[in-house]
Amino acid sequence: MTLFDHFLIFLLFVVQPVVGWINFRRYVKKIRAGEPVDRPRLYLETQIVQWVFLVVLAGGWIYLARPTSDLGFVLPQGPGFLMMAFLVLAIGIALARSTRGVSQLDQSERERHRSSFGDLGHFLPQCDRDLAGFYRLSVTAGIVEEIVFRGFVLWYLTLVMPMWAAILVSSFAFGLGHSYQGAGGMLRTGLAGVAFGVLFVISGSIWLPIVAHAMLDWLQGRQIREIYRDAHGAATA
């Protein structure tokens, strides 16, 4: 490990959660004051920050002459990969079917779901324009967050602890990075981090977690968009 690695871990474990929470509260304050929220722009800003971080990580990795296999970039193969690939496919099919179920919800059920989002609802895709931007963000998150948290962070932590502990610690940091979503959001993303970590270890490659993460975010975005559609098929925002 080098100072470069320690610095990136500090950004992920300390700076990101604090800055994310501060920015979220600042945006919410502006919205409550009557300022309209430009969700596609916020999605784009988030993508830019994530890609910049990945470029910095990649640049340092190349400069230090480290193999990309340490980040999980290996050829997927073996029974572990096949088993996990079928599992991801099954989950994707189940989520796609549940999305169709969401479209059948009556208006009162949709309103109940919207209320449960709280302040986070201001930043969720509420119309087709939002959804297009959210799709791009989903792909970015799948690529960047998996390379960073399942690739780099697990590599870093396994130098000082066993893999099972590294998965737990990295998942805690992953959840902490979503602290602006509240305790429930942190718990959900933390558990998702554990699932992606296990998927990474069993499949033996970063490729399947990237696909699974992007797919999960993509389908959840679609479900949320449907929740914000009124009973007559029009957007509510």
Burial class (CB in 10 A: 0-12, 13-18, 19+), 102: middle
Q: Give the distance from CA 25 to its chain's centroid.
A: 20
pLDDT in tens, the chain (237 residues): 899 999 999 999 999 999 888 988 888 898 888 888 889 999 999 999 999 999 999 999 999 999 999 999 998 888 889 989 999 999 888 888 887 777 777 788 888 888 888 888 888 998 889 999 999 999 999 999 999 999 999 999 999 999 999 999 999 998 888 877 877 778 888 899 999 999 999 998 999 999 999 999 999 898 898 888 874 345 444
In the chain, the N- to C-terminal Cα span, in Å, equals: 48
Q: How many H helices and E strands in the chain?
A: 10, 0
Task: Tell me how far apart the alpha carbons of residues 19 and 15 are, in angstroms, rounded to a whole number.
Answer: 6
Q: Please, what sign has the CA dihedral across residues 9, 11, 14, 17? A: negative
DSSP lists the bridge partners of residue 229 as 235
Bridge partners, residue 235, by sequence: 229
The pLDDT score that the predictor gives to residue 116 is 83
- 125 burial (CB, 10 Å; 0-12 / 13-18 / 19+) is buried
Given a contact cutoff of 8 angstroms between Cβ atoms, the answer to whether 209 and 74 are in contact is no
How far apart are alpha carbons 174 and 171 in whole angstroms? 5
CA-based nearest residue to 88, from 169, 142, 165, 147? 142
pLDDT at 232: 39
d(C-alpha 172, C-alpha 193), whole Å: 8
State how far the Cα of 39 lies from the Cα of 150, in Å rounded to an integer: 28
pTM: 0.87
Which tokens hold the place of 172? 């805690």
